[in-house]
Amino acid sequence: MGFPVSASLSPRLHNHWLARYGIDGVYVPMTVAPEQLERSLRALPALGFKGCNLTLPLKEEALNYVDVIDPIAESIGAINTIIVEDNGRLKGSNTDAFGFITNLKTTAGDLRKYIDHAVVLGAGGAAKAVVKALLDEGVERITIVNRTRAKAEHFIQRFGNRVHVAEFSALPQLLPSCSMLVNTTSLGMKGQEPLNITLDALPETALVTDIVYAPLETELLKAVRARGNVVVDGLGMLIYQATIGFEAWYGKMPEVDEAVRELLLAP
């Protein structure tokens, strides 16, 4: 469910896995306006749905309409996955943090050498899941850099004193100590403005990841790859966040392989 939902790659992904594992099911995109969210969610058990995913702008609103919120969704303050339990109750969860960190580990291996200081660009919905995942992974210091400072400051209230806030203009002073740089803004995405930052002060040992996956190789990733940094693209986050939803609904952890990535990258 989303508003709009037409650009979502999730139907392609889940229907691929359903076919692959011979599961009699279908994943359908549904356009749901925020004012229809409660009624739409309440209809899921009666219509025989195992659950649903939620995308913009429904993730926060859904907290009001489920029967149980699991600790990870509570902590992030947003629901992206709903499971219809056997008794018809709706459980709200969030798989974005798992998707983000599993993608990093799968691509970059042991993250311990990157956990001193993460600089996170952006303070939107996705950034909350990213920050939660990084804190759970033991990152010692996270500096959030966002155009709207007040939104970044909310992260300190939500996540505590390992989180700090800075302006884009402070990046030249922040980057020398940065062991992981994460772009969670929509800058650099197809159709959006470019992400214009100067990377000169970023150590070559830093891990760089961009959760924007359209294009797959963003200008940020292109620039840091050329300097020798370890680079992780954003497509894996989308795929891995879907795996645990699929498992919760159908009891099968789907395999992630190159074929899945190619399926999502196909026009």
**E-strand stretches of the chain:** 51-53, 68-69, 81-84, 90-93, 117-121, 141-145, 163-166, 180-183, 207-210, 230-232
Helix (H, G, I), strand (E, B) or coil at 8: coil
Whole-number minimum distance, CB 127 to ligand NAP, in Å?
6
Whole-number minimum distance, CB 32 to ligand NAP, in Å?
17
Rg for the chain (alpha carbons), in Å? 19
Interacting positions 60-79 with ligand NAP (CB under 6 A): none
Interacting positions 23-62 with ligand NAP (CB under 6 A): 56
| Torsion angle (degrees, nearest 10) of CA 167, 143, 214, 59 | -100
Interacting stretch for ligand NAP, rule CB under 6 A, among 12-20, 70-78, 134-142, 182-190?
182-190
CA distance 163 to 59: 23
229 scored as a contact of ligand NAP (CB under 6 A): no
Which C-beta is closer to ligand NAP: that of 84 or that of 189? 189
Which tokens hold the place of 120?
């996170």
Q: 3-class secondary structure for 33-63?
A: CHHHHHHHHHHCCCCCCCEEECCCCCCCHHH
102 scored as a contact of ligand NAP (CB under 6 A): no
- With CB under 6 A as the contact rule, the residue among 2, 51, 92, 122 that binds ligand NAP is 122
Interacting stretch for ligand NAP, rule CB under 6 A, among 34-42, 117-125, 200-208, 222-230?
117-125
167 scored as a contact of ligand NAP (CB under 6 A): no
Measured CA angle at 122 (ends 57, 144), to 5 deg? 135
Does residue 50 have an active-site annotation? no
Whole-number minimum distance, CB 231 to ligand NAP, in Å?
14
Helix (H, G, I), strand (E, B) or coil at 149: helix
Whole-number minimum distance, CB 95 to ligand NAP, in Å?
10
142 scored as a contact of ligand NAP (CB under 6 A): no
CA distance 52 to 84: 8
Which C-beta is closer to ligand NAP: that of 4 or that of 203? 4
Interacting stretch for ligand NAP, rule CB under 6 A, among 28-36, 46-54, 186-194, 215-223?
186-194
Which residues are at the interface with ligand NAP (CB under 6 A)?
56, 96, 99, 122-127, 146-148, 151, 184-187, 189, 193, 211-213, 234, 237-238, 241
